Amino acid sequence: MSNESETPKQIPGEPMRVKTSGDIEVSAYLEIAKEKGGVAPSRALTGIPAVERESIVVLDFGSQYSLLIARRIRECNVYSELLPYDTPWEKIAHLNPKGIIMSGGPSSVYEENAPLAPAYIYEGKIPVLGICYGMQAMTHQLGGKVSPPTKREYGHTVLHISDRHSPLFAGIDEAITVWMSHGDSVERIPPGFNAIAHTENTPLAAMANEKKMYGIQFHPEVVHTPQGKEILKNFVTHVCGCKGNWTIGNFINESIDAIKAQVGNGKVISALSGGVDSAVVSSLIHKAIGNQLTCIFVNNGLLRREEVERTFNTFRLNLGMNIIFVDAADRFLARLKGIIDPEQKRKIIGEEFIHIFEEEANKLGKVDFLAQGTLYPDVIESASTGSTASAKIKTHHNVGGLPARMKLRLIEPLRFLFKDEVRKVGLELGLPEEMVWRQPFPGPGLAIRVIGEVSKEKLEILRSADFVLMNEIKRAKLYRELWQSFAVLTEVRSVGVMGDHRTYGFLVGIRAVTSEDAMTADWARLPYDVLARISNRIVNEVPEVNRVVYDITSKPPSTIEWE
């Protein structure tokens, strides 16, 4: 098997309503997805004439790298979407796929009930690339042989390309470093295939036939394969013939037209959180329907220090739209009292947000839609792509945390975008850099950074520690280099000594990671002097804390957030 491993002043009891003016040019990719009663999806909204639309479909066999493949294809300016390995043809035909990639996975093809590809994959209609387990499935289904491990192969390996004329390896060096992660190996390739590359331990490391079917045992999608992106680009352009016309700028007109068509004369409320995702969603919808949109910013009591004032002012000054402010801090904390399990926290917070939005919608009259800044990684982590080959990691509050029955239908324009794509959209919108480059902040807020039960006292301790951390990260000019950096308040207490007195205080964990899309992440090698200042200041400025530790775990095996 592959074995891959503070609040603006308001009238008591009433939401603050601030109407601002202005207009913003919008450029964004739109996806309106059906989820929990949402509007029907129209996946191929690319701003490109229908006859020129193209995509590469990635079939997910359970690899931790599956979504990364789709991301790499998009970097070639070709739209790509991740779907379950057993997706029927009629459910992908509307994407006009020019090629299909079969991902890796943890299974063995000779096991009972091993995931295998649908028959249409092998009909020769469009090119196919099998990666790792994808190659093994192709081999097994087409009459070759896959064997249990005699020599496993993990990590960096030198690949020797024997077929220098293969379009898959056009412009690639004869010997390249690749990343291997497999136990099983192809012992005999299927009839009609030729071996086109090998390694010291894997004689059949790549294969191809005349029907444009390719199999490779290594992972081109990871950064550990330096020329991997070029190999994927060769498949997309030389083998599949894609033109590379998927760009953010192509989505403006069709995106706006699609929103107008879906909403009609209806009303939309948008959930503002302070991050770039919700800002872009709100801007896009506002451009399409103007004052039919009302934005709602909720203080759930789980935000960072000064975040309520700063975020509200940013939206009021820059986004130019109707904004309602709702202070619901006590309400959320009451619902979270006694709750320890992080999945319960997420579901409670998601439900409470929806209840508030529905209440505010009733005050506005008939409201039909709720807009959210859900991203593609949120969807993938909240639930598998639909196949039994993928596992749910955790529920995101605005995906799996939504109530089963909702009065409002969802509009989620960013549902199939990665964070870096959203940031590109934000810059094209003209949104302020402070908003565009803000580090991601989880929807459940500090509730999942306070380990165990959430209380006002614990939240204040965490806010103080987190404020020190962010101050030092920005002082060291590291903020833009990090994907996320934050403090975690644990339930652990330890003995300390301050001024000759014994203390028994909380342990705070510090987390800082680098990443491109949050699907994988590496712990940041922060300078020792920065870590020393952070630790010293937290212990001295937050009386309840007497010990600070630094999390040096990557994702995988850990997630970025602790809960």
Residues marked active site are found at: 132, 219, 221
C-beta of residue 188 within 8 angstroms of C-beta of residue 209? no
C-beta of residue 209 within 8 angstroms of C-beta of residue 194? yes
Cβ-based neighbours of 347, under 8 Å, separated by 6 or more: 395, 397, 400, 401
**Sequential DSSP letters for 462-476:** HHHHHHHHHHHHHHT
C-beta of residue 3 within 8 angstroms of C-beta of residue 183? yes
Distance CA 215, CA 204 (A): 10
DSSP code for 164? T
258 φψ region: left (φ > 0), alpha (ψ -120 to 50), beta (else): alpha
The residue length of the chain stands at 563
- Say how many Å lie between the first and final Cα of the chain, rounded: 30
Q: What does residue 419 show for φ and ψ, rounded to 5 degrees?
A: -60, -40
Burial 261-275 (b: 16+ CB within 10 A, else e): ebbeeebbbbbbbbb
- DSSP lists the bridge partners of residue 388 as none
